[in-house]
Chain A
Amino acid sequence: MPSDLGSSKAFDELEALRAENAALKQQLSAQNQLPMSLEEFKRYGRQMIVEDTGGVAGQLKLRGSKVLVIGAGGLGCPCLPYLAGAGVGQIGIVDNDVVETSNLHRQVLHDSSKVGMLKCESAKEVLLKLNPHVTIDTYPVRLNYSNAFDIFQHYDIVLDCTDTPLTRYLISDVAVNLRMTVVSASGLGSEGQLSILNFKDVGPCYRCFYPVPPPPNAVSSCQEGGVIGPCIGLVGVMMAIETIKIILDIYTLDNFQPFLMQYSGFPVQTLRTFKMRGRQTSCKACGDNRTISRKAIEAGDVDYELFCGKRKYDVCSSKERISVKELETSYLSPGELNHILLDVRPHHHYNISHLPNTYNLTVKELRDMEGDITRLQSCIPTVHRQSEVLVICRHGNDSQLATRLLKDQFNITNVRDVRGGFFKYIDDMNPSLPKY
Chain B
Amino acid sequence: MVNVKVEFLGGLDVIFEKQRTYKLNVPSKDDSEVTVGSLIDYIVENMIKNPRDKDVFIENDTIRPGILTLINDTDWELEGEKDYVLEDGDILSFTSTLHGG
Contacts and interface: CB of A to CB of B under 8 A. Distances in A.
Interface of A: 71, 73-76, 160-165, 168, 185-189, 191-193, 209-215, 218-222, 225, 227, 232, 260, 262, 264, 272-277, 367-368
B7 to A, nearest CB: 9
A191 B9 contact: yes
Interface in B46-88: 50, 52, 56, 59, 64-68, 70, 73-75, 77-78
Contacts of A188: 10-11, 98-100
A191 B95 CA distance: 11
Nearest to B76: A277
6 contacts: A186-B97, A186-B98, A186-B101, A191-B9, A218-B96, A368-B50
Looking at chain A's contact residues, the main secondary structure is mixed
A191 B73 contact: no
A286 to B, nearest CB: 15
Given A220-B11, A367-B52, A275 B75 contact: yes
Contacts of B78: 275-277
Interface residues of B, number: 26
A220 B64 contact: no
Contacts of A168: 99
A274 B99 contact: no
Top 7 closest A-B pairs, CB basis? A214-B66, A212-B65, A188-B100, A163-B101, A186-B98, A222-B100, A277-B77
A163 B66 contact: no
Given A214-B64, A220-B11, A191 B98 contact: yes
A189 to B, nearest CB: 6
Contact of A220 (B52, B74, B99): B99
